[in-house]
Amino acid sequence: MKIISKESVGKLIKDKDMVAISGSGGSGSCETILKGIYESFQSTGHPKEIGVTCGISPGNLTENLVGMNYLATPGLVGKAICAHLGMGKLFGQAIGNNEFPAFAVPLGVINHLYRAIAGKEVGILTHIGLHTFADPRMGGCRANEKAQKEKDLVSLMQIDGKDTLFYRTFPIQVAVVKASLADEEGNLSFEEEGVIGEQYHMAIAAKNSGGIVIAEVKKIVPKGSLKARNVRIHASLVDYVVLTIPDETLGEYNIPQYRKELTGDEKIALEEVQIRPLDERKVCGRRAALELTKNSVINLGVGMPDSVSNVCAEEKISDEITLSIETGITGGVPIGGVVFGAAINPESVIPTPDQFDAYNGGCLDMAIVGLAEVDEQGNVNVSKFGSRITGPGGFINITQSTQKIIFMGTFTNGAKEVIQNGQLEILEEGPKQKFVKTVEQVTFSATMARNLHQTVLYVTERGVFELVEDGIMLVEIAPGIDLQKDILNHMAFTPKISENLKLMDERIFKNEKMNLKLKDKEA
């Protein structure tokens, strides 16, 4: 192991090398290394046209020069293979502008590809992605027009008479990973990281591809001082180490200070949760919470689904369920915002690829995730909107492997609404419909859900829809809402209407607690 400066990083990466980059949104990003690559390209023009691969792209959802935004300079990147492409807005815009070919791969798939690359396997076989844009019949993970000219990343195969997707591996020449500490030999400890992520799998993939591993740490400690159980990457896999000073000017981004409550090293007494005011987000959270059962393991997606955890806190039922995050966290209270992926007082912290082994096999009882577009077949899009391309993250793995799925979101985008006297009133309609004739991209496949006999609900503040055999059916309507004026007039298709259409639970629309009591989970 050799300690180097960020100025040396660019010299170690050759033009067109495939570089694996650790990080998950606002956690685990190699900021100093990424800055070193950026500065090298700015001053010398090299490395150029590099390939980049990552899970959830590092970034803070802004155009700030952080995370993947460092790599958005024209000519620096030649290809991207990532699960989520939009945490760095400049990087996502570059893909939307067709500056280089990009593939958006389900998070669990790309994590398992790293493991397969490490084992020198030719690829992985899985059902994940069938009938979505990952399926070669519907795009083959291609995220932009330039990717159309690239070699296929995924193929359709028949295994024992069943459709199966084959995702091909690819060599990785460089892995850049963030750890907490390194000892004098180069052993890397993750003891202060709230998310372990894919770092080990990236490192071993690079080494077994004949490449190099560059690690970023905040401190070098004496040889032999690290506990073996905290060493996630052995010194034999580490070629170079860059020392960094965490940047606290960006707030919580990249979690610059060691927070023991995120690693499980300390349990803290949670302050009284600030109860959310009664608005459309709380209405959706309350309605979704009515579906919860005792002792269930539940994945909550980013964004509006975090209102469910707030409702559970208000109703004092948080201890009756277990929340799980695809980054590898189970138990505790997920933290929101840009550093989504870590949790306060986690009960278990494992690598992300291992979490997807459990998810793919069906360990979750329920998933509550967001929706951006829903079409008349029941398909959902959360991954592409014109030139704004985000990718699926873990959405496809989760929704194709869990028996009960609840999508939640406002009925239209940007409506002004008020809840009073137990009624929902629309003051001004939103400018954009979410229930469209055909979604722009299929991130959730209604066809696949029907094949798997999944239970699927679409929860909005105005009504609740259910996936049925030949479309979606409106089964509940909010008090105060006119079916024609407030719902049907703002859909690009006419859904089926249940013969037993009923009002949503009146408790949802009142300021006082619902006094929610969870039912027992069915055996």
Closest CA to 70 of 52, 55, 84: 52
| Residue pointed to by tokens 């608005």 | 279
- For residues 329 and 473, what is the distance between their CA atoms, to the nearest angstrom? 35
CB 9 within 8 A of CB 37: yes
**Can you tell me whether residue 97 is helix, strand or coil?**
coil
As to burial, measured by CB atoms within 10 angstroms (0-12 exposed, 13-18 middle, 19+ buried), residue 13 is: buried
Torsion angle in degrees (nearest 10) through CA of 186, 190, 195, 197: 30
Q: In terms of DSSP bridges, do strands 2-4 and 240-243 run parallel, antiparallel, or are they unpaired?
A: parallel
Listed in order, strand segments (DSSP E) in 318-470 are 322-325, 329-330, 333-334, 343-344, 348-349, 366-370, 373-375, 380-381, 384-385, 388-389, 404-408, 412-413, 416-420, 423-428, 432-433, 435-436, 455-459, 463-468
Token pair for 521: 């989970």
- For residues 521 and 499, what is the distance between their CA atoms, to the nearest angstrom? 28
H-helix segments, 149-271: 199-208, 260-263
- The residues carrying an active-site annotation are 326
Angstrom distances, CA of residue 453 to CA of 183, 292, 379, 402, 495: 51, 19, 15, 10, 20
Q: In terms of DSSP bridges, do strands 18-21 and 50-56 run parallel, antiparallel, or are they unpaired?
A: parallel
- For residues 436 and 491, what is the distance between their CA atoms, to the nearest angstrom? 6
**Can you tell me whether residue 214 is helix, strand or coil?**
strand
Torsion angle in degrees (nearest 10) through CA of 78, 80, 86, 87: -90
- For residues 32 and 30, what is the distance between their CA atoms, to the nearest angstrom? 6
Closest CA to 359 of 416, 403, 309, 391: 403
